[in-house]
Amino acid sequence: MSARTFFRTLTVAAATAALGAALITGAQAATPSTAGAPEAAPSAVVKPGEENPFLGIELQGLKAERRMMYPAGHPVAFWALVLDDETAARHYRGGQFFVYAPATGEFGSFLDTDIVVRTVRAPRQVVIADSGFMRSHPRVEVRYGNPDRPERAFTVATATIWM
């Protein structure tokens, strides 16, 4: 098994476990609607005990946002970092977005619908739900360019933990 395949498998397993834990601890089963479609996502109102795991991280070009997904028709709420409106509105051509920790050279991942991916092409697809990766590195960057040459990619947004 290649390292890339192992990393992807490990990342998918970790994301599934995290989302499953959220489902067990706080999500309620969806009530069937008459149209058969999932209900519209509720507003980002935070209930007591549903703290933002990204608190205390200095964000530049990013914002924390409460999101919903519906795996197997059941609503699951989760916190994610997304590009702020100004950064997402910029025009990007010829590259891909990726999450990179420059101190260690490690790559993070995005959540595309309910699938963990290493890169995305559109700024609205930048959804970082892995708070563990974010907290395990003092500085994490969202970069745009060629992920095979991260040192040459343009830094779009940063998340910094001051020790």
| Largest separation between any pair of C-alpha atoms in the chain | 52
Q: Is 47 exposed, middle or buried (0-12, 13-18, 19+ CB in 10 A)?
A: exposed
The pLDDT tens digits of the residues spanning 98-130 come to: 999 999 999 999 999 889 999 999 999 999 999
The pLDDT tens digits of the residues spanning 42-79 come to: 333 434 447 899 998 999 999 999 999 988 889 999 99
Strand-pairing partners, residue 148, are none
Radius of gyration of the chain (CA): 16
- For the question of whether the overall pTM of this predicted structure is more than 0.85, the answer is no
Do 108 and 100 touch, CB atoms closer than 8 A?
yes
Q: Where are the domains of the chain?
A: 3-29+51-160
Strand-pairing partners, residue 115, are 112
